[in-house]
Amino acid sequence: MDNDPDNRWLHDKINEGFIQLHRLDEVLYDGRTKYQSARIVRSRNLGICLVLDDKIQSSERDEFIYHEALVQPAMTAHPKPETVFIAGGGEGATLREVLRHKTVKKAVMVDIDGEVTALCKRYLPDHALGAFEDKRTSLHHVDARDYLEKSKDKFDVIIIDLPDPIEEGPASMLFTQEFYRLVRDRLTKDGLISVQAGSANPTELLNFTAVYNTLKSVFPLVAGYATYMPCFGGPWGFCIASQKYDPSLLTPEDIDKEIAGRSLKDLRFYDGITHRGMFSLPRYIRAAMAEQTRVITDKQPLYLY
């Protein structure tokens, strides 16, 4: 980051060959937590942003796209989601989207880095919109895998909202086959898991296809989907897996009927047409999903950089 107050730019490294520059108006916080570097900045284009390990994780102007895409397809596909587990999601926006569903009786959010959650409460309160104070919320700052291993609770939906797996980061062991088996055991019989699966750019599909293949090694039904994320510099991938439901088969009319029936108000991104568009993956992604076979394991984790 250029520290000249008249010419400050955030250098967001998308991959080894691509850096995205964001003009900064203000640096609100710059420090390090126990687990990662953390910054809160005000971008000229994207508003206030959370930056972890030098990568933008969320921005106030477009976070609704990411969080609705991650949460709503799985929640809507389940006929009556009552118990939800969230791994990560320190900003509180994933929790916000879950709690839009009045059927939810309990939402357990586990993010290992309590300092990041505290920063988001202070600088990005509109991400959570009071979700942390909702009586249905149970917030824990421990390792999500360890929590699930010790818990005997079952969940209708499990949402994995974690940073990309980097060697020094806290999330690499939550993308593995062994972890997804644990998730499967903690889901109800008709439960779903939703995972942020990384870039869907044609030049960097390894994370997306590896997550897809790893989920397919554990679950009988897996669907990948994607949408464009401005703050991430391109299309972004997600995966949903289940023993019972395939959300990609739902029609726009199915989705709009569920949204209306559940009184999901104030959605800015997700509806039936959006759902169909996200699951209508371009040919290059479908080809990569068919051709690439990498499965992530505890012994062979995936480190992107």
Catalytic residues: 161
User: In this structure, what are the phi and psi dihedrals at residue 222, rounded to the nearest 5 degrees?
Assistant: -135, 135
Q: Cα separation of 52 and 116, whole Å?
A: 9
Other residues' Cβ atoms within 10 Å of the Cβ of residue 228: 14
Distance of CA 272 to the CA centre of its chain: 20
Burial of 236 (0-12, 13-18, 19+ CB in 10 A): buried
Q: Cα separation of 68 and 268, whole Å?
A: 8
- Dump strand ranges (E) for the chain: 9-15, 18-32, 37-43, 47-52, 55-59, 83-88, 106-110, 137-140, 155-161, 187-199, 221-229, 234-242
